[in-house]
Amino acid sequence: MSRGLLIVLSGPSGVGKGTVCSQLRQRQSDLVYSVSATTRLPRHGEIDGINYFFKTREQFQDMIARDALLEHAEYVGNYYGTPRDFVERTLETGKDIILEIEVQGALKVKEKFAEGVFIFLVPPSLDELKHRITCRGTENADVIDHRMTVAVEEMSLISYYDYAVVNDQIDAACHRIQSIITAEHCRKDRFIAELASMQEASEKA
Ligand SMILES: Nc1nc2c(ncn2[C@@H]2O[C@H](COP(=O)(O)OP(=O)(O)O)[C@@H](O)[C@H]2O)c(=O)[nH]1
Ligand SMILES: Nc1ncnc2c1ncn2[C@@H]1O[C@H](COP(=O)(O)OP(=O)(O)O)[C@@H](O)[C@H]1O
């Protein structure tokens, strides 16, 4: 059985990563979502273990010390990190997993998983980005300003990604990402790796 695809989705705050991810999961029930750990406080309606594993700074530092995180980064005053075991176990069972993470973390994942699929979700414009994050109503004006500054920095790192997907319409953006996933499953190098293990198995038999 071939390993699943590790898919990384990044993009500035408010571009629609969460919205697109939840749509993708509804369309593709076999796509596994990696739940991150964070020291950020839960937003209204967010559930521990579903949206994030909400941690104190001490608990987060302990996860780092135990090497329990595949990557971690500080973003606008809080820590965020990807629990390692869950990602590795999911890939071994042949399932695809999606990590919704910011750029510093994505670059660290790329060092460990060069074969990962790195997708950057792009806003139609910076004005629309600010409109979306403001309308979401989850951050105060100072945090929004800080996130907008970070957004411009993040977008300058787009060249490290394999794909740039504009989130103009949710349906269209999901469709583009599903097409990317389908195409990545058809890459010849994945087939060649599988062929090698099939040959090995037949030689042993
Ligand atoms: N490096 C890293 N970034 C993460 C992780 N989980 C979430 N993030 C990113 O942290 C940033 C802030 O997330 P959040 O506070 O939920 O804000 P939102 O993206 O605007 O909903 C976003 O860019 C997330 O993609 C993680 O495990 N590792
Ligand atoms: N294509 C889109 N068109 C209009 N609004 C969108 C679109 N995608 C997401 N949104 C809205 O933008 C806001 C931010 O989306 P969210 O998924 O929370 O972004 P992120 O996870 O990237 O911070 C939400 O209110 C969401 O409903």
pLDDT tens, the chain, 205 aa long: 688 999 999 999 999 999 999 999 999 999 999 999 999 999 999 999 999 999 999 999 999 999 999 999 999 999 999 999 999 999 999 999 999 999 999 999 999 999 999 999 999 999 999 999 999 999 999 999 999 999 999 999 999 999 999 999 999 999 999 999 999 999 888 788 778 888 888 898 8
11 ligand 1 Cβ < 6 A: no
Could you tell me which residues are annotated as the binding site? 11-18
Strands 32-33 and 6-10: unpaired
Burial class (CB in 10 A: 0-12, 13-18, 19+), 11: buried
Query: Annotated binding site for ATP: which residue ranges?
Result: 11-18
Residue spans per domain, the chain: 6-34+96-204
Atom of ligand 2 nearest to the CA of 173: 1
Does the complex come out with an ipTM higher than 0.95? yes
In the chain the beta strands, taken as DSSP E runs, fall at: 6-10, 32-33, 36-38, 52-54, 69-75, 78-83, 97-100, 117-122, 163-166
Whole-structure pTM value = 0.94
Is residue 135 in contact with ligand 2, taking CB distance under 6 Å? yes
Backbone angles phi, psi at 146, to 5 degrees: -60, -45
Check whether domain 6-34+96-204 has CATH 3.40.50.300, yes or no: yes
CA of 137 to the centre of ligand 2 (A): 11
Q: Write down the pLDDT at residue 120.
A: 98
132 CB near ligand 2 (under 6 Å): yes
Q: Report whether residue 17 contacts ligand 2, using a CB cutoff of 6 Å.
A: yes
40 lines ligand 1 (CB under 6 A): yes
DSSP string, 47-107: -BTTTEEE--HHHHHHHHHTT-EEEEEEETTEEEEEEHHHHHHHHHTT--EEEE--HHHHH
CB atoms inside a 10 Å sphere around CB 154: 21
